[in-house]
Structure 1
Amino acid sequence: MVQGTVLVVEDAPEVRELYADCLEAAGFRVLRAADAATMARLLASDRPDLVLLDIDLPDGNGLDCARRMRIRDQAGLIFVTVRTDNEDRIAALEDAGDDYVTKPVDPRELVARVRNLLRRRSPDDTYVRFDGWTLDLVRRALFRPDGSFLALTAGEFNILAALAMMRPNPVNREYLLDVISSRDRANVSEHTVDTLVMRLRRKMRQDNGRDAPILTVRGVGYVLAGESGDS
């Protein structure tokens, strides 16, 4: 089961892969970036739970990037750097990051720090897990059983979140209509609900042929099937 998504931002390939390998072995999904530009793109597209950020990047200062991108508002942030100056550490922790680690660092210690920070940042009900899938309710993200990110529209996510929160009970179309319309029904109907569910099923069908765990309950609406995990 994926424990969360960590973005490793490090320009040295051997160091980046060392961190990534240890995190993946510990059950995390890992994204990799060698520079600030790639980091910005992955922050927007994949919404990681935590960022491991080197300060000295080829296209910018990691501390300045963290402030400008407001990374700590989006994810946990641990600086991993060769800089040992106390002023750098204070500046990083005061207004940019959650933790500061100087290189060289034991990868096992890094994994422990990642786990501890995610535990502090995430309430117990942040994630909903079902049938191998993981739904992040805070970052509004869905992850496949293999840990990869699956992009959803706002309407698709709202439908799936409603089904996940109500499982194992079926959810009627009237309720789902309220979920996607915010009670303004001028441009939506029950057909809209059915269309969104159809799109969800198509997106969530797995490569091995396994169908999405969304079942139709005749005369009622829909229910999320499959075994649930810890929320």
Structure 2
Amino acid sequence: MSGQRILVVEDEPKLASLLVDYLQAAGYEVEHVANGLAVVPLFRAREHGLILLDLMLPGQDGLQVCRALRAFSRVPVIMVTARVDEVDRLLGLEIGADDYICKPFSPREVVARVKAVLRRFEPVAQPPAGLQLAPASYRATYNGKLLELTPVEFRLLAALAALPGQVMSRDQLMNHLYDDHRVVTDRTVDSHVKNLRRKLDCAAPGRDLVRSIYGVGYCLEP
């Protein structure tokens, strides 16, 4: 997720400069400190989306820094170490690090690891509060009101609710509508969406939970 602020904690100037350059090129805002004692005060003053933390640092080593951070924050931490023995690897993870990278490494690998860890921490969209689906009985309620959906409408709502906030094309929705996978047209999908919207509007007037994206498809507002 580009645009987030990354804190690089590295006391080797050339390596730190390389990491900063690559992360900035990937779209991240990057800060750098070389002393372990500077990390917690800086993070408290200005939170970061992820910390790239060297193990061997002046002032306070990476393990101590990670323990101090974990006392008050779950910020993602990637440990960077030249000590490749298994004990240090495990210890780095046991104290709350989210990943580790061993030196020497490719800066591109670091960027890929940063992106992967940040993806794990992305907030997951939730279906609208008050929407309850019971697939076994094809029963759906919203704010305690029974929606009286047909099986096709229930499957349509369940498909949209599985990916709240994400647009699903008509082709994608078609695959969820019928058990026999019959061929239907775009207009069929639109007709079912229209009926679903009408029933949702009865339970939540004016809420417009199913949003139409012109030329693309539909999404359920999270």
Tell me: CA distance 1:111–1:21, structure 2 relative to 1, closer, same or farther (3 Å): same
Q: Deviations over 1:74-118 (max 9, x none)?
A: 311000111101000011112220001101110001001000100
Q: Return the letter of the residue paired with 1:80.
A: V
2:73 is paired with a residue whose SS is helix
Cα distance in 1 for partners of 2:65, 2:2 equals 28
Q: Deviations over 1:108-144 (max 9, x none)?
A: 010010001001012156xxxxxxxxxxxxxxxxxxx
Structure ID, larger Rg: 2
Would you say the 8 A contact 2:63–2:95 is kept in 1? no
**1:109 has 2:109 as partner:** yes
TM-score using structure 2 length: 0.53
Cα distance in 1 for partners of 2:11, 2:96 equals 20
2:55 counterpart residue number = 55
1:79 is paired with a residue whose SS is strand
Q: Deviations over 1:150-193 (max 9, x none)?
A: xxxxxxxxxxxxxxxxxxxxxxxxxxxxxxxxxxxxxxxxxxxx
Would you say the 8 A contact 1:5–1:31 is kept in 2? yes
Q: Return the letter of the residue paired with 2:31.
A: L
**1:97 has 2:107 as partner:** no
1:106-185 matches, within 5 Å, as 106-124=106-124
2:21 counterpart residue number = 21
**1:6 has 2:6 as partner:** yes
1:84 is paired with a residue whose SS is coil
Where structure 1 has 5 or more consecutive residues not aligned to the other structure, the ranges are 126-230
Q: Aligned-pair RMSD on alpha carbons?
A: 2.0
2:139 counterpart residue number = none
Tell me: CA distance 1:66–1:47, structure 2 relative to 1, closer, same or farther (3 Å): same
TM-superposed deviation, 1:45: 1.3
TM-superposed deviation, 1:68: 2.3
Cα distance in 2 for partners of 1:58, 1:36 equals 6
**1:84 has 2:87 as partner:** no
Cα distance in 1 for partners of 2:107, 2:113 equals 10
Cα distance in 2 for partners of 1:74, 1:8 equals 17
Q: Percent identity among equivalent residues?
A: 40
Would you say the 8 A contact 1:66–1:72 is kept in 2? no
TM-score using structure 1 length: 0.51
* Count of paired positions: 126
Where structure 2 has 5 or more consecutive residues not aligned to the other structure, the ranges are 126-221
Tell me: CA distance 1:46–1:52, structure 2 relative to 1, closer, same or farther (3 Å): same
Question: Which consecutive segments of 4 or more residues in structure 1 shift more than 6 A?
Answer: none
1:43 counterpart residue number = 43
1:74 is paired with a residue whose SS is coil
Q: Deviations over 1:27-69 (max 9, x none)?
A: 0000111011221222111100100001111112211221123
Would you say the 8 A contact 2:40–2:68 is kept in 1? no
